[in-house]
Every structure is written in C-alpha cells, then in structure tokens.
Structure 1
Amino acid sequence: MDDKIHPNDSPNSSGEMSTKPLGVSSSKNPRPPSGTYVIELPKDQIYRYPPPENTRKFQEYAVQKRSRRRSCFRRCFFWTIGFLTLIILLLVVTASVLYLIFRPESPSYSVDNVAIRGMNLTSSSRISPIFNITIRAVNPNGKIGIYYEKGSTVDVYSISSGYYSYLGEGVLPAFYQPSKNLTVFQTVLKGSNIVLTSAVKSDLKAASKNGSVPLRINVRTPVRIKISAVKMWTITLKVKCDVMVDNLTANSKIISKVCKYRVKLI
C-alpha cells in the first residue's frame, strides 16, 4: 500500500517534514477565524463594571463617610455654642461685679441760656445768626470720670409746623469731667447765609410775638469713660434738647427745656 502524505507534511527546504497543525499561522499575531470581528479600543475607553458585592461595599462606605461628616459638624456646632455661651456668661458676671462696685449713675444735661443775634425776619435777604448757648453737664458718679473728646458737633434748628429749619452749628470744648462734678460751659453756634422760606419766617414771627419760639439743639460728641484708673473705649454721646424761648434776641429767656440723651457704643 502506498503511504499517504498529509498536505502539511511536505518537506521543507531543509528536507524535514513540517508538523504544524492545520489552520495555525506562523506569524506572531495570528489571524482570527473566519466570521470573527475584532474591535480595538483604547484603554481609557474601556469601562469595567464592579461586581455586586463591590457596589454594596462602596455604598456602605459612602453612608459611613456622610455619617462621620454630620457627626463632626454637630460636634463643632455644639462646641461653638458652648464657647459663645461661656463668653456671654463671663461678660454678664463682669458687668454685674462692676455695677455692684461702682454703682454707675446716668449723667444729666440741660441748656441754661440761649442768646441770639442776627435773626432778622423782616428782610428778604439771607441771614447769618449767632447763638451763644450755655450748657450744664452733671456727673453724679463717685468713681467714674468722663472725657469729652475732640470731634463733637452741635446743631441748632427752628421748629415750624413740625419741620426743622437749620440755623447754625458749632462744637463743644474738649475737657475732662471728674466724678461728682458740675460743669457749665458755653459754645457758639453760627449760621452763614441761611435761606428761610416765607412760611418759616411767618411762623417764627408769630411765635416770637406770642413769646414761645421752639428750638431744637442736637449734640453729638465722642466720650471716654474712666473707671478708677482705667480708660474705657471711645463711645458716642448724643443729646437732644427741645428748648422754648420767649423771643429771638440777645435777651431771650428760656421758658421750658427738655433734654434726652443716648449712647452709641460703636
């Protein structure tokens, strides 16, 4: 019987028989079988889906992380509230102790005299009035002094039908008022080229004829409180005085006066 030779068993150039299996290519990148498609994608476009157990672990980790964040926020919030409460309690205790030690009393202010020049209401020209005002300041405290510092302003207005008409301005002198002290000082307020309407002039003439001219004096001054040997920070003192005079001359007399004040801490 004749020997059968496999088609792939043909001898090669060296005379040896090739034993490579059928359909296997000798190249490094073998060709895919017939009917197979190969799609090549870059690595950064390949998405991997984690197994279900990894997804569950990730969700548990995210929940734990959010819980830790909320817990840290709550601790910080309560620590801040506790610190602020402690500071407020210390301030209240300190203020109470100072009050019991020094027994502070409110100072008082009043206008003792108003002398007016240059209020010509018969002429249609502008006016430049001058007000000489005497102010009384009383410090009733036994251990507290008051520094009246520079930078004050004093304004005077006439009141007509509920409206205020500006008449002049000036400043207060800077001085120190010790404890248990009464200080009387004068200040000059001046107006320059003031224009009054005919209605305001008519009201002022009628009020002067009736012997009751209302004026408003506003005082704004920076002060510093001295407690024993300690100077406190600068605060702003505001005084409003409603004064009624009998006329608008240098010999005017005060019929009534009411002064109120308030303090602005900042």
Structure 2
Amino acid sequence: MTSTTMAENRRSTPSSHQFYYSNTPSYFSTSSSSPSLIKGCCCCLFLLFSLLALLTLAVILVIVLAVKPKKPTYDLQQVAVQYVGISPTPTASPAGVSLSLSVRLLFTAVNPNKVGLKYGESRFTVMYKGIPLGRGVVPGFYQPAHSVKNVETVVTVDRVNLMQADASDLVKDASMYDKVELTVMGDVSAKIRIISFDSPGVQVSVNCEIVLSPKKQSLTYKQCGFDGLHI
C-alpha cells in the first residue's frame, strides 16, 4: 500500500526539468513580441510628427490668410558722393587706370503690412561694366507695421585697377562727358514676424543704375528697379 502511494505521488509531482521546459515557450513568446512593440512605437511617433507638421502648416495658412502679406519696398533713396578719383597706372602693362571712390547709399524701407518685418543683413555690390568694385553692408533690423525706415551704408573703393578697354572708356566718359556709370545690386531678405513666430523668408532683388560726376563730385542720375519677389 505504501509503495503504491509513493508511486502515485511521483507521477503527480512534476520534475524540475519538466517545470523548466514547460516555461520555456512563455519566454520565447515574450521575446517574439518585442519587434511588434517597437514597430508599434515607430508608427505612433510617425503619426505624432505628421500631426505636428499638419498643425504647423495649418497655423501658417491661417496667418497668411489673416495677415495677407504684401511685398515690402526697399528703394535707393539717395546717393551722396564723398569722393571720386581716376588716376593712371603707368606700371601696368598694358597701361590702365585705377578708380577710387567713396559713396554713401541711403535706402528707404517701406513696410505696408499689418505686422512687423525682420530684415536680415543685406549686402550691396557696386560694379562698373560688370566688374565688382566694392561692397556695402546694411545690418539686419526690425521694422514695425505700417512704417518707413531709412538705413544707410558706405561703399569705399580704393584704387581698383581696370583693364585697358574698360580704362579707356572710363577716362573718355569722365573727361568728355563728366560721368561715371555704376551699377548697385543686392538682395534684401525679410521675414514676417508675429509675436515670436517668423514666416519663411521673402527676398527682393535691388538693381540700380547711377551716374556720378567726377568734376562736381555729385550724383547726376539714378534709376532703380526690382527683379521681383522670391520666396
């Protein structure tokens, strides 16, 4: 009787090896679910970023429709000639001339919008027949809504040598017609600012033709144009 009871107890009690292997499938099941969990997290993050991008786009569209932004005006208002000098360069071969000048450029910025504009740094290049002579820099600034602001820069050219063909034209124009034709070109970038939010950049290209009088040391002609509005 006792031996029979002990045999039944051994059959009813699982061995340690049986217990270990019976839990093994549960372990592999947990490991196999990890990739699915990672994929689910990635999908959630993708949906979250997509929702944020759509929300940002919606805010921008609402601002654009509410503000109705207009193109700002950035015009060369005045050119003050401080010095214009033309001197021969006998050491050059072939012979040429060197041009020196100093001009103060006064620009007028007009903001017709209901909100302020944030201008970045603007650079303007003075050229003679496509040859860069000097560059002026206007620091960035903030312009309130419905306002007019004057900004200026000084361009200094120190004895820039010109080749023979350009030099002869410059000497002829200066001596016979008392004129030096120059081109002022540059790009002006601005952003609409609402509270602390800046819109995408708006760029206006400035292209001005100016004529200086070496004898009178003054400006005799100015005509400016704008190449257009670029986003």
Give the TM bin, normalised by the shorter chain.
0.5 to 0.7
Distance 1:202 1:165 in 2: 18
Give the deviation of 1:82 after TM superposition: 0.8
Alpha-carbon RMSD across the aligned residues, in angstroms, is 4.1
Quote the residue 1:113 is aligned against: 78
2:117 equivalent to 1:146:
yes
Give the deviation of 1:202 after TM superposition: 3.9
> Is 1:114–1:253's contact at 8 Å kept on the other side of the alignment?
no
Provide the secondary structure at the position in 2 that maps to 1:216. strand
Quote the residue 1:48 is aligned against: none
Give unmatched runs, 5+ long, in structure 1.
1-53
Q: How does 1:1-266 map to 2 (within 5 A)?
A: 68=33, 70-124=35-89, 126-142=98-114, 144-147=115-118, 152-160=121-129, 163-172=130-139, 176-202=142-168, 204=170, 213-218=181-186, 225-227=192-194, 230-232=195-197, 239-247=204-212, 249=214, 250-258=218-226, 260=228
Structure 1 length as normaliser, TM-score? 0.55
Are the structure 2 counterparts of residues 261 and 119 from structure 1 closer, same or farther at C-alpha, using a change threshold of 3 Å? Answer: farther
Provide the secondary structure at the position in 2 that maps to 1:251. strand
> Is 1:121–1:201's contact at 8 Å kept on the other side of the alignment?
no
Give the deviation of 1:90 after TM superposition: 0.7
Are the structure 2 counterparts of residues 159 and 259 from structure 1 closer, same or farther at C-alpha, using a change threshold of 3 Å? Answer: farther
Q: Which amino acid aligns with 1:155?
A: F
Provide the secondary structure at the position in 2 that maps to 1:106. coil
Give the deviation of 1:119 after TM superposition: 3.5
Distance 1:99 1:234 in 2: 9
Structure richer in strand, relative to its length: 2
Computing the radius of gyration over CA atoms, which structure comes out larger, 1 or 2?
Answer: 1
Distance 2:161 2:199 in 1: 37
Quote the residue 1:17 is aligned against: none
> Is 2:211–2:219's contact at 8 Å kept on the other side of the alignment?
no
Q: Percent identity?
A: 18
Structure richer in helix, relative to its length: 2
